[in-house]
């Protein structure tokens, strides 16, 4: 089994002092792995890179910065605390949106957008809306756009730059920046009716956070109207430290009604809405909406309720006639994507499909007929990053060279290098790339890390050559991680075989002072669910580092069911969850038991969300191998979880009762013999606290002992530093006690 060691920034000279990580320091300020920029964007003219960065004294309070390519200077543009010194007061809609985007723990400027003129930036802050003008004097640069009594979400700038739009109190608004006239474009948004918003499952499960789309000429806005009257109204208790809120939420649980959706067209100056025919089947998902470059057609993607069919439909906005361009079908499920690109130089479009068993790109004519594939092979494209028609290239993120890496590649629009794309990023490891949204590619921004290198951010030429650093993030003696770098553990990577012969990749940390003649306890940290990969050649999770430094072997294995490995790897979970995932994790523990440096009687497992579910299933089905487990915020009964996610894998409870029963943790509880620590936030609106209360009651009914820690006010991610510290300190003490190790102070 091959072990991969990578050179990086941690190979600099060691300081005299050397400290082990602590949980408190991991979640304290300043950020231990460096103040890594987030929200990176390139200005439309390619002269600036803007980003958000946390304050030194509070890494979760974000300000707006720029890197100017002309003079190489990095500047603070907007200090969020100066502009809004008071404590943030957010609307419930904004809080819910941030929770869906997994940024609930952030404050300050958490998002922004460029205007097409490359001179103005639009951003919300503390419920207000601001426009920053780079060409104005500093004292006059920021302009408030907030209408009276507005509750702003999803602010956008029109392609023309003349209008700003947003959703407030369930209606769509536009502001004419020339006249400062504020127009409400819809007026029936109230109660169960929402205009311009993405519904709950679109945000939570479909990776769609917007409910409206500007045309290229800014003469029309396509918007979604949804009515959630039929969705069951659930009363949810949010237990806060000082009160209990009874929240009524329209929650579409598996097998129950979804929202009804419409797609309309409205002008930014207001007027009558024109409605697009979405087809005879009303029980559908409006998955994606895109405009053609000439603004004469709008395309929408329509997914059936069972998620086995996805139609791409083109609508002529003059005649309102529609044409189905193509349909994707599957015997399991169709994964959604954002890789549709309409070309301007020819009547063609780019489309992504997994029909070959892997996600690849294809070129289609506007008649809906496939021309030829743009990529081929037993590897997976993650997403399209940019389309440069002038150069005849498509830039993509993919794992062609190694399943644990993410690299940037260039594919030719003529399909000539479909099997052998040009790799752009030279370093092995994990690259997250940002390109200009349209037009010729002159540069891109690369955020890269490997197991020895915290994330570095650089500006690169289209061929991958580095032009400049935005954040070199060198771990020198002044870096926050300097005192800990000598104790940094380098992981080993390898794979074992699944029952059907596929490679299961793992990342394994050996403990500090490793002695192969000794036997060590093991902590297996996993997610295990669809779409999430944890075993990667990146800097990794500092909590894994922490437990390795405390004397544990820490291992993460990505079992079958996850993405990026092709449909043969992802599809075995279809119609039943918690089966092959447990089988693969058992295979890892059994392999570990054959290693002379593993104490097979002291194996602990832990995970969060789906990882919490898998922890419970491991304890229920594999207490013969697992000595103890920690489950955080777990779904336990899939009939309680939402439609789009659950039905994608299990179908409906009405059509797959046996699959739901076999996927239910409660079905297997008699097998749970090893100690359990159960944790959950008491205001979780994703995996509702009901999942844990039902499990608690059933464990009690069966006389099963368990330990419990709940968090008043805690959402799904329990995102405050204080909660995170408490979660992991409680976990630390539990494993020390149950696995017979010495707890760190």
In this structure, what DSSP letter does residue 88 have? P
Burial 224-242 (b: 16+ CB within 10 A, else e): bbbbbeebeebebebbeee
- The 3-class SS string of 194-263 reads EECCCCHHHHHHCCCCCCEEECCCCCCEEEEEEECCCCCEEEEEEECCCCEEEEEEECCECCCCCCEEEE
Runs of H (alpha helix) within 603-720: 610-621, 643-650, 657-663, 690-701
Residue of 148, 141, 149, 180 whose CA lies nearest to 164: 180
Which of 458, 716, 719, 726 is catalytic? The answer is 716
Alpha carbons 500 and 251: distance in angstroms, whole number? 37
Burial 575-603 (b: 16+ CB within 10 A, else e): bbbbbbbbbbbbbbbebbeeeeebbbebb
Residue of 706, 552, 584 whose CA lies nearest to 634: 706
Q: Are 80 and 34 in contact (CB under 8 A)?
A: no
> What six digits make up the tokens of 11?
């190979």
> What six digits make up the tokens of 434?
């940002």
Which of 609, 622, 663, 719 is catalytic? The answer is 609
Angstrom CA distances, 598 to 520, 521, 623, stand at: 5, 6, 17
SS3 of 421, please? coil
In this structure, what DSSP letter does residue 95 have? H
Q: Are 452 and 11 in contact (CB under 8 A)?
A: yes
What is the maximal distance between C-alpha atoms in the chain?
78
Give catalytic status of residue 428 as yes or no: no
Read off φ and ψ for residue 561, nearest 5 degrees: 115, -25
- Estimate to the nearest angstrom the gap between the alpha carbon of 396 and the chain centroid: 18
Give catalytic status of residue 414 as yes or no: no
**Nearest 5 degrees, angle CA 43-CA 44-CA 47?**
50
Can you state the angle between helices 610-621 and 580-593, rounded to 10 degrees? 70
Task: Tell how strand 163-168 and strand 212-214 pair up.
Answer: unpaired
Cis bond upstream, residue 30 (ω within 30): yes
> What six digits make up the tokens of 279?
């087809």
Q: Are 557 and 535 in contact (CB under 8 A)?
A: yes
Query: Residue 81: enclosing H or E segment and its boundaries?
Result: helix 80-83
SS3 of 572, please? helix
Q: Are 355 and 328 in contact (CB under 8 A)?
A: yes
Residue of 358, 448, 431, 353 whose CA lies nearest to 395: 431
Q: What is the full DSSP assignment across 29-63? A: SSPTT----EEEEE-TTSSEEEEEEEETTEEEEEE
Q: Which long-range contacts (CB under 8 A, 24 or more apart) does 360-367 make?
A: 361/394, 361/396, 361/411, 363/413, 363/415, 364/325, 364/326, 366/314, 366/325
Alpha carbons 198 and 263: distance in angstroms, whole number? 12
Other C-beta atoms within 10 Å of 282: how many?
11
**Nearest 5 degrees, angle CA 442-CA 444-CA 6?**
135
Burial class from Cβ neighbours inside 10 Å (0-12, 13-18, 19+) for residue 2 reads exposed
Which of 684, 685, 719, 726 is catalytic? The answer is 684
In this structure, what DSSP letter does residue 309 have? E
Give catalytic status of residue 382 as yes or no: no
Active-site residues, by number, are 609, 684, 716
């Amino acid at each position: 089994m091959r072990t991969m060691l990578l050179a990086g920034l941690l190979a600099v000279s060691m300081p005299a002092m050397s400290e082990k990580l602590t949980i408190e320091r991991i979640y304290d300020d300043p950020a231990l792995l460096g103040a890594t920029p987030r929200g990176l964007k390139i200005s439309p003219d390619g002269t600036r890179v803007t980003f958000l960065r946390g304050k030194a004294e509070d890494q979760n309070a974000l300000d707006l910065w720029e890197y100017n390519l002309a003079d190489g200077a990095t500047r603070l543009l907007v200090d969020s605390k100066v502009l809004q010194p008071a404590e943030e007061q957010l609307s419930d809609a904004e809080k819910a949106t941030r929770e869906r985007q997994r940024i609930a723990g952030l404050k300050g400027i958490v998002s922004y957008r460029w205007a097409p003129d490359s001179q103005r930036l639009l951003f919300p802050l503390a419920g207000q809306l601001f426009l920053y003008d780079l060409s104005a004097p500093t004292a006059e640069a920021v302009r408030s756009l907030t209408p009276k009594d507005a509750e702003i979400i999803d602010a956008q700038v029109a392609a023309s730059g003349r209008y700003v739009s947003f959703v407030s109190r369930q209606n769509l608004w536009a502001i004419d920046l020339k006249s400062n006239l504020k127009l409400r474009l819809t007026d029936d948004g109230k109660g169960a009716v929402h205009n311009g918003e993405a519904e709950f499952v679109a945000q939570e499960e479909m990776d769609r956070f917007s409910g409206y789309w500007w045309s290229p000429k800014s003469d029309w806005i396509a918007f979604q109207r949804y009515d959630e009257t039929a969705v069951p109204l659930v009363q949810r208790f949010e237990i806060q430290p000082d009160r209990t809120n009874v929240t009524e939420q329209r929650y579409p649980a598996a097998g129950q009604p979804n929202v009804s959706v419409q797609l309309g067209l409205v002008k930014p100056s207001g007027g009558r809405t024109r409605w697009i025919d979405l087809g005879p089947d009303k029980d559908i998902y409006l998955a994606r909406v895109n405009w053609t470059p000439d603004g004469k057609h709008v395309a929408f993607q329509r997914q059936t309720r069972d998620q086995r069919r996805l139609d791409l439909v083109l609508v002529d906005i003059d005649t309102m006639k529609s044409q189905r361009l193509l349909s994707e079908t599957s015997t399991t499920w169709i994964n959604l994507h954002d890789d549709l690109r309409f070309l301007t130089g020819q009547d063609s479009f780019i489309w992504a499909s997994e029909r070959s068993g892997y996600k690849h790109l294809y070129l289609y004519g506007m008649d809906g007929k496939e021309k030829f594939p743009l990529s081929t092979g037993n590897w997976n494209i993650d997403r399209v990053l940019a389309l440069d028609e002038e150069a005849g290239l498509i830039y993509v993120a993919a794992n062609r060279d190694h399943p644990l890496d993410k690299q940037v590649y260039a594919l030719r629009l003529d399909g000539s290098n479909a099997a052998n794309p040009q790799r752009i990023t030279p370093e092995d490891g994990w690259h997250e790339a940002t390109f200009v949204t349209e037009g010729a590619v002159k540069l891109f921004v690369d955020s890269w890390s490997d197991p020895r290198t915290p994330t570095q951010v650089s500006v690169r030429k289209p061929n991958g050559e580095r032009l400049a650093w935005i954040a070199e993030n060198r771990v020198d003696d002044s870096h926050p991680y300097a005192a800990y770098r000598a104790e940094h553990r380098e992981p080993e990577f390898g794979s074992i075989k699944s029952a059907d012969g596929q490679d299961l990749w793992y990342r394994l940390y050996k403990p500090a002072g490793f002695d192969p003649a000794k036997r060590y306890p093991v902590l297996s940290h996993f997610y295990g669910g669809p779409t999430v990969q944890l075993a990667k050649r990146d800097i990794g999770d500092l909590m894994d580092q922490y437990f390795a430094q405390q004397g544990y072997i820490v291992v993460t294995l990505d079992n079958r069911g996850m993405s990026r490995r092709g449909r043969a790897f992802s599809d075995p979970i279809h119609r039943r969850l918690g089966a092959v995932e447990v089988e693969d994790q058992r295979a890892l523990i059994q392999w570990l038991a054959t290693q002379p440096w593993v104490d097979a009687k002291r194996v602990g497992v832990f995970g969060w969300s789906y990882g919490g579910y898998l922890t419970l299933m491991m304890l229920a089905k594999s207490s013969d191998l697992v000595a103890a487990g920690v489950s955080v915020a777990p779904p336990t009964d899939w009939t309680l979880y939402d439609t789009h996610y659950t039905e994608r894998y299990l179908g409906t409870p009405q059509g797959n009762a046996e699959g739901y029963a076999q996927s239910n943790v409660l079905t297997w509880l008699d097998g749970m013999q090893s100690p359990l620590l159960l944790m959950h936030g008491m205001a979780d609106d994703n995996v509702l606290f009901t999942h844990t209360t039902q499990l608690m009651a059933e464990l009690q009914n069966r006389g099963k002992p368990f330990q419990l820690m709940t968090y008043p006010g805690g959402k799904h991610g329990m995102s405050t530093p204080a909660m995170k510290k408490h979660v992991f300190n409680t976990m630390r003490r539990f494993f020390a006690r149950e696995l017979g190790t010495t707890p760190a102070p």
